[in-house]
Amino acid sequence: MQAYLADELSGARLSSERWRRFMVDRVMSGEGYDEPGWDAVDLVNAAHVGPVTCRDAGHCTAEVRFVLVPAQIAAASAQGTAPHPQAGELRESYVLMRAADGWRVATWPHADPLPRPRVTPKAWRR
């Protein structure tokens, strides 16, 4: 989960070339899985992995708390959408599945599609 988040926050899903490597290294998805061209991202300062619960030896769920940058909080408030009751953060659950070479974050058809990208302001400016 930590390796996935490091790549996610550095903007791996914002570039076609990096996205392909990210999918191979970090994600378990169905054949032909693709993502939309994202119109928006969430700008975050940090991500913290919380409780991980496992239903068996090959399937777990990780709770992640993303700390939003102040500009992201202001934008959400202006749109009338609170990111989370705890102001200044987003919470997301990720399904983790054991692969032959280690754990991966799962997406379609094993789990819901990945949420829109979360990146640091530094990655967004690149």
- Host H or E run for residue 65: strand 59-68
pLDDT of residue 92: 95
pLDDT of residue 35: 84
CATH 1.10.10 is held by the domain 2-125: no
pLDDT of residue 37: 77
Average pLDDT rounded to a whole number, residues 15-20 = 90
Between CA 113 and CA 50 the distance in angstroms is 21
Residue with tokens 């919380």: 50
Domain segments of the chain: what residues? 2-125
Structure tokens at 34: 């693709």
